[in-house]
Amino acid sequence: MIEEIRIRDLGVIAESTLPLGPGLSIVSGETGAGKTMVVTAVGLLLGNRSDAGAVRNGAKSAMAEATVRLPAGHPALLRAIEAGATVDEFDGGVELILARTVGSDGRSRAHVGGRTAPVGVLAELGEQLVVVHGQSDQIRLKSAAAQREALDKFAGEADPSFPGLLGEYQQMHRGWLADAATLEELRTTSRERLREAEALSLSLAEIDAVEPAPGEDDALKAESIKLSNLEALRTASQQAHEALIAEDYAESGDATTLVDTAKRLLENVADSDEELAAAAVRLAEVGYLLADIARDLAGYTAGLDTDVPARLAEIEDRRGALAVLVRKYAPSIDDVLAWADAARERLAELSDDSGRIEKLQEQVATAEKALDKLAAKLTGIRKKSAATLAERVSAELTALAMPDAKLVIEMAPAARGVHGADEIAFLLMPHAGASPRPLGKGASGGELSRVMLAIEVVLAAVDPVPTFVFDEVDSGVGGKAAVEIGRRLAMLAQHVQVLVVTHLPQVAAFADQHIRVRKTSGAGFTSSDVLLLDDAGRVKELARMLAGQEDSATAQAHAQELLEDARHGAR
């Protein structure tokens, strides 16, 4: 629900605030006072295209801002938070601020919850918050998708089993589409898949013939480097061994002897000093370590290959075979093995094409039969609901001074789709003997507004949008028809918030809040302001709307009578 709309420098309105509330809010005023700017402001907040011509003369920019109150978890609120909006929570509800600024140069900026946002975000929020019906606006139910959705919501209210059936159908339809697409791919790409299988078989045969082992390429490279430097390795290991344990006596002694000598010297005086005793222990550990290293070096030297040329030739041949695989299939042997594993899985899948095709054919055929049964059930419920919806809307049209007009909901078989197998169209038969035509064609703006009002009144309980805005919905009518329009607007306002721009007192009399737009002129300027009327102000405004004489006692008495009749009629 919109709690308040603030307007600045838009058209003839310099700065005004429209305090709105639940129920029916009426905006009235003399011709040219700026009533249309209220609808323009709402349009800007819904993401409509901006027009620099709407900026008040002499102003740098125009601004429209609204405070919207929503229940926690509302889809529009979640989308706003996703866009970075900051919201205020209190009394079980959440307040969201929407704003739009239009510069005199035509540039436009949008804000959602205090954060700059693309204008498209306002449009997304607007679809879930407000529906505008005006003389030049696109009607909500013009598209076939919107008409089908409206009928389905009405059907769900009439038959509680409908939503479950539709959900079951849609889930099955998604699976059917996936299976059908896979089956079609298998059939149309059979030759390509056969060629792919043959290529994979040849590649795997080549890899299996070599029988590479994980990490083998790196291991062979390391061994090749070792054998190429065998003499240097042999010399270094022998000399290092001699330095640790000399076979012949050397004047300086080997490392093991020197460490052992130092250890014994310290052990001789260890009883006299704990620090030297600890050093002797550490030297003993060093001695054990040196002995272990010396044994390792001796074993290393003894184990060095003596037939180096033959082993090197064998390694290089093997590395050459591995290099061929690496060059063809992957950067390393480990990657080649991973590629081979994936290729085997793919080959198994390709080799089972005939079995998969047969299985998918059975699944698709079974799903189609089940889908057709569910679609037939959906069609039956829709037809019954369509007849009821058309009857109710036609009754509303009779009360809205269109006694011969009828809403016709046509259903025709269609290809199996995600929503069933029905093609749905809302048509208007404006008078007896006329051919039904799509909504939006063959009717004047005022007639179309009344048609939409009738539809919205019937759908309000099952397809609620928080706020409806009607601009000149009463165009071209008067008398009892105007009273009925006011009554229907009041009925709609029992379910949702309704904002109506009107010039008819019969409609205005049903308002829960009456707002007057008043124009004032001075030396070289014209401006308008907005005023929420109290009871006395409502009587005077209705008197003006009735007779153009707001101070006339007779007109005020008539206005008072109109208010009383509306209060009783709206009950």
pLDDT exceeds cutoff 60 at 251: no
Q: What value does the mean pLDDT of the chain take?
A: 85
List, as one string, the DSSP characters of 315-340: HHHHHHHHHHHHHHH-SSHHHHHHHH
Q: Which of 48-52, 130-134, 285-289 has the highest mean pLDDT?
A: 285-289
pLDDT digits (tens, 9 = 90+) for 365-424: 999 999 999 999 999 999 999 999 999 999 988 888 788 889 999 999 999 999 999 999
Q: Is the pLDDT of residue 253 over 90?
A: no
Which letter does DSSP use for residue 84 in this model? T
pLDDT band at 307 (very low <50, low <70, confident <90, very high): confident
Enumerate the domain spans of the chain: 1-142+464-533, 216-331
Which pLDDT does position 138 carry in this prediction?
Answer: 47
Q: Which amino acid belongs to residue 218?
A: D
**What's the average model confidence in pLDDT over 350-355?**
73
CA separation, residue 81 to residues 99, 107, 359 (Å): 15, 25, 47
Q: Is the pLDDT of residue 135 over 60?
A: no
Contact assessment for residue 116 and residue 109, using Cβ atoms and an 8 Å cutoff: yes
Rounded distance between C-alpha atoms, residue 39 and residue 25, angstroms: 13
410 neighbors 436 (Cβ within 8 angstroms): yes
Is the predicted pLDDT of residue 158 greater than 50, yes or no?
A: yes
Mean pLDDT of 77-94: 82
Calculate the dihedral angle through the C-alpha atoms of 148, 153, 154, 159, rounding to the nearest 10 degrees: 120
Q: Residue 190's pLDDT is what?
A: 74
Note the pLDDT of residue 380: 96
pLDDT, tens digit (0-9, with 9 covering 90-100), for 434-487 = 888 887 676 666 677 778 788 888 887 676 678 888 877 766 667 777 888 888
pTM for the whole structure? 0.61
Lowest mean pLDDT among 46-55, 107-116, 202-211, 378-387: 46-55
Answer whether residue 301 shows pLDDT above 70.
yes
What CA–CA distance (Å, rounded) separates 241 from 425? 98
- Residue-wise DSSP of 346-372: HHHHHHTHHHHHHHHHHHHHHHHHHHH
Structure tokens at 274: 């704990």
Domain 1-142+464-533 has CATH 3.40.50.300: yes
**3-state secondary structure (DSSP) of residue 5:** strand
Count other Cβ atoms within 10 Å, centred on residue 432.
9
Alpha helices in 400-530 (DSSP H): 445-459, 479-492, 505-508
**CA 201/CA 194 separation, integer angstroms:** 11
Give the Cα separation of 372 and 421 in Å (integer).
8
Residue pair 117/144 in contact by the 8 Å Cβ criterion: no
Question: What token pair was written down for 490?
Answer: 């009041």
Contact 8, 15 (CB under 8 A): yes
pLDDT band at 180 (very low <50, low <70, confident <90, very high): very high
How far, in Å, are 380, 384, 408, 426 from residue 387 at the CA level? 11, 5, 8, 11
> How far does CA 123 lie from the centroid of its chain?
14
Distance CA 418, CA 62 (A): 44
Q: In the prediction, which pLDDT does 151 show?
A: 92
Task: Answer yes or no: is pLDDT of 86 > 80.
Answer: yes
Asked whether residue 241 carries a pLDDT value surpassing 60, the answer given is yes
